A and B are shown apart, each in its own frame.
Chain A
């Protein structure tokens, strides 16, 4: 029976689907593997698009509505592609007390993008986090997947401008 579930063909011949299939196979294509599988999709593709949601739903035999429900319930999942660069500003209590919100505001103004969004040219995603657990280094953030301690608005703006300029 589990063999049949694995028969749904991947939407494209992108090799990353193999990683997704490996996760589903590890859990025997059981519906309970939904969150693990979506985590793998997000890790491999960077976000969850409709094709991916339909494919995972079909493989695990979970209604598409429920799959969508789970994908939108958890903050970690993103339904939109992220920018080429990302900056996550931590808004945990320690970072808040030490001025994380001011850094965020300055970044939002400098790059003309509201928190939680990506610039129209797809260069930068400005995101927030509840707490990244680096409270000893407050205010902290994650710039292009590197945890960065003691943020100051000026330094981060500089660093991001340089990264965007060099990358583009």
Chain B
């Protein structure tokens, strides 16, 4: 297949869609589906037929549109009218109003900061294209970057382009993607593998799920480009078994891509061959850690091992392996299509491009957002998020899941990038962002995350296996208001020990929620101690001592 053929598929698809005067895009992502969007879609199709408008109006299932808390969502194109909270019973009214004024009581305004302040790269197709049809992806410009790479660039050219773009790993740690690719490309040994980490385990995070469900071909294209750059012929996408819809759509996408020659032997008529397989995770948070994930693909218990050697040198079955997060791969096609300068022009000096966040908790607009790096937390929560509902008062925002921390009000002006979040004692993480109001107790939040890490600890290394249990017990004492000054000292020293001596990221970062709440909400801990004397604390504070 050549460029002309891709263009022909795209033109055919566009013509087929544009022959309809109206197009109703119904969100079929997990959030809206559980609110009943599949029934809405069926009802719309029925009513359009009944009204005899099936030659005028197309009903299309699409991926996540972002405003998950207001689903099911339906978008009317080309008028760009968004309907929210649609029920199957609303279908006749929507169909009747196709040529008239939009249905007022369902209309969701799209000129709000929620829509205007976002910049979409990874999610550019999400909510626009049918994730189950490769033709729709090609019509949106898909697989052009892969074709360009295979016909115009050498592998080193791809690596240089990604290095210049400044893209960093979106799994949370922010390792430069270009550097990782170049390490795998140079690593001796063959075969080489490409692995996509879709084991999204952070509670409160659904970014990767939305990309896998809403635009699966984008991930495949990104993986194929990366495979060409490092010289791999086989790839795996590791997805949680808890995401059956993502698994189904990825498998479908792989079959369609193979059929059209976008995956498989001699891709797009070149000599490059690459195949992708989906592997199921089985519910172990630690498998998000790269060495544990690799063990799991090999059919073993998902336990991490010490690094080095890094997977780039010795990964899957001892071979050099490129392992990246879903969002990282999803950025690659856009960078190769639009150029590294374009990508590097978005974001801050050291963090380029955009980041997808799953905004949830006590905030008005709940959903999936994509923002340029360098935006402030305040703009995200009070601009895009619309602030705190029900007259509540903002208390803290939690980023980075069980490995991250809680950021208080006085740091809301912080710009979102890898370094500044780390300075605040949190991390960028994979993108969960949970807003808490003054009803939430920070000690309870810390205890909640410690319970998570304690249960998810794989048990291989002692600091994490035993330390998290001890930390949890100490936090329980604070929760029950039976803690003492000695417990506070123990808590702090044990946090430090677990952080410094655990084997993998799970253990090393498990104390973060405790440390960050101790740093910003220390008073809440102190008030829960039996031997806490506010007057003495004040005197000591005046003397310059810590309590």
For A66, what are the chain B residues with a Cβ–Cβ distance below 8 Å?
300
- Interface mask (B387-406 → A, CB under 8 Å = 1, otherwise 0): 00000000000100100000
Q: Let me know if B301 is at the binding interface, CB within 8 A.
A: yes
Q: Is the CB of A138 within 8 A of B360?
A: yes
Contact between A93 and B448 (Cβ–Cβ < 8 Å)? yes
Do B367 and A136 touch across chains, with their CB atoms under 8 A apart? yes
Closest Cβ neighbor of A132 among chain B residues: B242
- In the assembly, what is the distance between CA of A98 and CA of B435, in Å? 11
Closest to A36 in B: B280
B56 on interface, CB distance cutoff 8 Å: no
Which residues of B have CB within 8 Å of A131?
A: 201-206
A147 adjacent to chain B (CB < 8 Å): yes
Partner of B283, one of A74, A93, A137: A74
Inter-chain contact B360/A70, CB cutoff 8 Å: no
Measured in the bound complex, the distance between the Cα atoms of B456 and A74 in whole Å is: 10
Residues of B within 8 A of A38 (CB): 282
Tell me, yes or no, whether B243 is within 8 Å of chain A by CB.
yes
Minimum CB–CB distance from B398 to chain A (whole Å) comes to 7
Nearest CB to that of A133 among chain B residues? B206
Q: Given contacts A97-B434, A147-B34, are A133 and B282 in contact (CB under 8 A)?
A: no
A93 lies within 8 A of B243 (CB): no
Interface 9-mer from A14-22, A27-35, A104-112, A154-162: A27-35
Q: How many Å from the CB of B393 to the closest CB on chain A? A: 14
Cβ of B204 and Cβ of A94 under 8 Å apart?
Answer: yes
A32 and B209 CA atoms in complex are apart in Å by: 25
| Residue from A39, A92, A130, A138 whose CB has the most chain B CB atoms within 10 Å | A130
A140 touches B434 (CB 8 A): no
Q: A39-B282, A96-B448 are in contact. Are A133 and B300 (CB under 8 A)?
A: no
Q: Which of B11-34 contact A (CB under 8 A)?
A: 30-31, 33-34
Task: Give the chain B neighbours of A149 by CB distance below 8 A.
Answer: 34-35
Is B425 part of the binding interface, using a Cβ–Cβ cutoff of 8 Å?
no
Judging by beta carbons under 8 Å apart, are A93 and B282 in contact?
no
- Starting from the known contacts A70-B301, A74-B281, A76-B242, 13 additional A-B residue pairs (CB-CB under 8 Å) come to A73-B284, A74-B302, A77-B282, A96-B448, A130-B283, A131-B205, A133-B200, A133-B209, A136-B68, A137-B34, A138-B361, A140-B34, A149-B34
Complex contact A134–B31 (CB within 8 A): yes
Chain A residues bordering chain B, tally (CB within 8 A) = 39
Taking a contact as CB atoms under 8 Å apart, the answer to whether A31 and B299 are in contact is yes
B302 adjacent to A91 (CB under 8 Å): no
A129 CB-CB contact with B under 8 Å: yes
Q: List 6 A-B contacts (CB under 8 A).
A: A94-B434, A97-B436, A135-B366, A137-B31, A137-B35, A138-B366
Q: B499 interface residue, CB < 8 Å from A?
A: no
Considering the complex, give the chain A residue whose CB is closest to the CB of B202: A131
* Chain B CB within 10 Å, residue with most, of A133, A146, A149: A133
Task: Find chain B residues with CB under 8 A from A152 CB.
Answer: none
User: CB within 8 Å of B: which residues of A?
Assistant: 31-36, 38-39, 62, 66, 69-70, 73-77, 91-94, 96-98, 129-138, 140, 146-149
B501 within 8 A of A: no
Contact partner, B206, options A34, A75, A76, A135, Cβ 8 Å: A135
With contacts A93-B398, A130-B285 taken as known, whether A136 is within 8 angstroms of B31 at the C-beta atoms is yes
Q: Is residue B537 within 8 Å, beta carbon to beta carbon, of the partner chain? A: no
What is the bound-complex CA distance between A39 and B297, given in angstroms?
13
Cβ contact within 8 Å between A147 and B30 = yes
B241 at the interface (CB under 8 A from A): yes
- B241: chain A residues within 8 A (beta carbon): 39, 76
Q: Are B34 and A134 in contact (CB under 8 A)?
A: yes
Q: Which residues of B contact A98 (CB under 8 A)?
A: 361-362
Report whether B452 and A130 are in contact in the complex, using a CB–CB cutoff of 8 Å. Answer: yes
Let me know if A136 and B69 touch, CB within 8 A: yes
Q: At the interface, yes or no: B432 with Cβ under 8 Å from chain A? A: yes
Let me know if B507 is at the binding interface, CB within 8 A: no
Q: Are A136 and B242 in contact (CB under 8 A)?
A: no
Check B299–A133 contact: CB distance below 8 A. no
Contact indicator B366/A39 (Cβ below 8 Å): no
Which chain B residue lies CB-closest to A70? B301
Contact B299 A34 (CB under 8 A): yes
Check B31–A70 contact: CB distance below 8 A. no
Query: Lowest 5 CB-CB distances: which A-B pairs, in order?
Result: A136-B68, A147-B34, A74-B282, A92-B203, A76-B283
A134 adjacent to B30 (CB under 8 Å): yes
Contacts of A140 in B (CB 8 A): 34
Mask of B29-67 contacts with A, CB within 8 angstroms, 1/0: 011011100000000000000000000000000000000
Within the complex, what minimum Cβ distance (angstroms) separates B77 from chain A? 23
Is B358 among interface residues, defined by CB-CB distance under 8 A?
yes
Complex contact A97–B362 (CB within 8 A): yes
The answer to whether B434 touches A133 (Cβ under 8 A) is: no
CB pair B33–A147 under 8 Å, yes or no, is: yes
